[in-house]
Structure 1
């Protein structure tokens, strides 16, 4: 992805670890967020890789280079042909007019220019509060670990953003109380 001009950010657990500058758990693959307007360029950016889309409700199918990415697809799994394992998961979100819109709810938005930061090594990563917003849906053990490690490091603005985003999509989520200092998640 180094030569790809379109915006992208390392996401998932690795993105959170880039934000904090340290590791705390193992990972199965690398997640990255890309924006739908540039998703059609992924075949060129990942030349030599196999790209597969997850067609809801969960069917995995090969994505040929000459097929536009369907509007309902938000996940692309990638691997080199020589690898039996998936190495990269690309999450596709909506954007337009310089604004990102969450695929979970159109009211959750932010300027594209403010979605990420850069690590000390120059790698783009998704802002931690946005990544935690996506992790809030699953509440898997790894998501709970990530929240416990990352939430205390968020500044007031990031905590408030995450609380507002969760209020839209998961109003009763236990992380909201923790974000407002009312107890553990």
Structure 2
């Protein structure tokens, strides 16, 4: 039996809502220690943004013009960490902020990776729409977290004379 278009649309909307909220909640409950520095230099090279990457975000993607328009999901959960602005220059706060940018980035990567679940009940056209949505709904947040993490590293180095 084929689902009606309205029911299929409802199924997709509810599915994405559950994935976004579920993954966000799950990651908000994870210990912060899970997001500490990677031990492998290879992994660290993939996780930590480079100066070239930051420049690309600024010059090609114009991240400074639109990043403030994105919602900050950190305020949505009891244990959430608001990343809207830098509210302290204390060492502990900067360290926590850095870890929270990693947590947020991984939240969006996992959400994006779950898009193929929708292929089970959608046709090829809907699958393409799902992929476009997943990228559009997650990549801006991933970009902002990586961009901010690079900037926070610079703040960290300048505050503690490591630049």
The TM-score, its normalising length taken from structure 2, stands at 0.25
Greater per-residue strand proportion: 1
Q: TM-score, normalised by structure 1?
A: 0.23
Greater C-alpha radius of gyration? 2
